[in-house]
Structure 1
Amino acid sequence: MIDNNLNIIYSSDDNYCIYMGVSILSVLENNKNFNSINIYIVDNNISDGNKLELKKLVDSYQRNIIFIGFEKYKKYLNLNMEWQISISSYARLFVANMLPSNVNKVLYFDCDTLIVDSLDELWNQDIKDFYVAGVCDTVPSNTKQAIGLNSTDFYINAGMILINLKKWREDNLEKRLLDFIDDYNGNVIHHDQGVINGVIKNKKILPLKYNLMTSYLMMSREDIIKFYKVEDSFYSQEQIDKAIENPVYIHYTPGFTTRPWVKGCKHPYVDLYWKYLKLTPWKDFKPIKNNEKFHVKMVNWIYLNLPFDVADFLCKSLMKVTGRG
């Protein structure tokens, strides 16, 4: 049966609220065919002004927006690690309790994304036998092994996941996720994404077009295998080419390009990002300064401007000399 009532959940603090707004705008623009769209936002101290602008934006498309406070869930997280991401990301672990019991599935979207086509096919994937469906990420075997996976096990990027809330609730998956964090003394590689992959071994793997990450745009399949030291068991070059030709979900992950809202971004879809941003209440927003460390900027420049094999050799040699390798 076709489900024409879409549920999406985001999680953000005030720093990422504008970028989340761009993503939401892109959803609304490209999914007018749905009967209803409910957009749930996990609110990690978003300002009243920004929440008002988000509400006006969603109301203008005659869709629904629901804010969920994150504060009461944070106390269940026993974390012990340095921060590379916002704690807002961990909201993914609590979605089954956050949403009404009659909501049986939801799409979780990261804020640094654009949705450039209809979500029909993605939303109507059959996941009755799975907790989640997602797209393969580019991670090496040692990252998988660090969370108890085999090198050939699938590892998904949690920036876009289709979640079977009914199954999560029935099997009390939230407790298993939190117990996993405790088992690792609050220090799981890749944060909540590592937790999700470590606990959920059986995941439905989706076509790459549903989470087209920057690495797939910047490197060939062969170069991805070399650079990330991944097993030769993920998407074919043909599958990658098809996703690049017709993406549904563009994920602006770091990958030599910086983020699209940062000055000097070299992402292939940076202009498209600004096209959508200009349609939001934050249309006067200006690109922010690139505050990446010098060695990061240098590595990005080398990979963007030199043949991959040359860049890879040069950067790895530099990292050994500087003690970063």
Structure 2
Amino acid sequence: MGKNIMNVLFSSDDKYAQHLGVAIYSLLEHNTAFNKITIYIVDNDISDINKQKLNKTADEFDNAEIIFLPFNKWKNKLHLNMKWDISISSYARLFIADMLPDDIDQVLYMDCDVIICESLENLWNTDLNNNVLGAVQDTVNDKTKEAVGLLPEDKYFNAGILLIDLKKWRKQNIGIKCLKFIEEKNGSVGHHDQGTLNGVLNGKWYRLPLKYNLMTIHYIFSYRKNKKYFKDHSNFYLYDDIENAKLHPAILHYVPSFTTRPWVSNCKHPKKNLYWNIISKTPWIDAKPEKDKSKWYVKLINFRYRKLYW
């Protein structure tokens, strides 16, 4: 596989197609140095109209190609007992070894709620030190770790951006191990597929620089507040690493983190305008901010944790 050829995987339903389009445009806009970027999209019932818009977005760039992968045949392999709302599209990454062609040795998986801000050449060429995947460490509490078999001192990664060595993934049967892990938890795993991957790959992943998955929490909470709230014992990124990542992010990940997403009217993210700047270049140019449909108590909790230190 050529180092100047990048394989990227997204997974989306029709509801997130607009946000996927923004992510794809930002990816291609900043990565014209690649000879070819093949974008695989796990298609969880994306409408024909939105597929046309996604293809139109990629057609603006000479080095891009989109390939849709139907998700329907894989859904039946999941036996879930979910207790809160999440798109099942998120679980698609567990089947990447079977979905993608056998001759693909490496893939960059990304969630749809991201903005790529610079070239990903250095990320794509990262040496994973013989690990199955590279990911950015996340801020979670001890109970979240304990729920998937981790100790307080163990590192926990966010699965929104994953640089995956598919050779090792296949050789170690990671997908099969993930399905078995879900079954052992009676179909209910904290943080869903992310928790599953952390439980299966505990200590067997490479920590990427924070700039490759800069999450909302680092803008909403100060470094001190993050450490206090999450009580992290696992040697998180240093203060300077976080501040530099905030100044020069490579990938912004718009997780909610006590606010909403940029496409919701009352979003507090300081870089929400990046989303709207990019959408103006896509077939979704006429999109408007959505009304916040969060429950009143969710809004109250969000306000509390953003504003009240006690």
- Based on CA coordinates, which of the two structures has the bigger radius of gyration? 1
Find the aligned partners of 1:126 and 1:2 in 2 and give their Cα distance: 15
Find the aligned partners of 1:174 and 1:219 in 2 and give their Cα distance: 34
2:288 aligned partner, one-letter code: K
Aligned to 1:261: 263
Aligned to 1:298: 300
Aligned to 1:322: none
Per mean C-alpha deviation after superposition, the further-off stretch among 128-137 and 157-166 is 128-137
In structure 2, do the counterparts of structure 1 residues 232 and 205 end up closer, same or farther at CA, with 3 Å as the change threshold?
Answer: closer
Find the aligned partners of 1:172 and 1:231 in 2 and give their Cα distance: 30
1:294 aligned partner, one-letter code: W
Q: Give deviations 1:50-72, integer Å, cap 9, x for gaps.
A: 00111111122121100000000
Q: How many residues align?
A: 308
Aligned to 2:50: 50
Structure 1 residue runs without a partner (length 5+):
314-325
Structure 2 residue runs without a partner (length 5+):
none
Seq. identity, %: 49
Q: TM-score, normalised by structure 1?
A: 0.92
Find the aligned partners of 1:2 and 1:236 in 2 and give their Cα distance: 34
Q: For residue 312 of structure 1, give the secondary structure of its aligned residue in structure 2.
A: coil
Aligned to 1:65: 66
**Do 2:23 and 2:112's aligned partners in 1 also have CA atoms closer than 8 Å?**
yes
**Do 1:225 and 1:232's aligned partners in 2 also have CA atoms closer than 8 Å?**
no
Aligned to 1:204: 206
Give 1:1-325 correspondences, 5 Å limit.
Answer: 3-62=3-62, 63-127=64-128, 129-201=130-202, 202-231=204-233, 233-304=235-306, 306=307, 311-313=308-310
Q: For residue 134 of structure 1, give the secondary structure of its aligned residue in structure 2.
A: strand
Q: CA deviation at 1:267?
A: 0.5
Q: Give deviations 1:62-115, integer Å, cap 9, x for gaps.
A: 211000000001111111122321000000100111110011010110011100
2:18 aligned partner, one-letter code: I
Q: CA deviation at 1:172?
A: 1.6
Q: CA deviation at 1:298?
A: 2.2
Q: For residue 263 of structure 1, give the secondary structure of its aligned residue in structure 2.
A: coil
Find the aligned partners of 1:79 and 1:276 in 2 and give their Cα distance: 36
Find the aligned partners of 1:23 and 1:234 in 2 and give their Cα distance: 27
- Cα RMSD of the aligned pairs, angstroms, is 1.3
1:271 aligned partner, one-letter code: N
Find the aligned partners of 2:31 and 2:277 in 1 and give their Cα distance: 17
Q: CA deviation at 1:256?
A: 2.4
Q: CA deviation at 1:300?
A: 2.5
Q: For residue 309 of structure 2, give the secondary structure of its aligned residue in structure 1.
A: helix
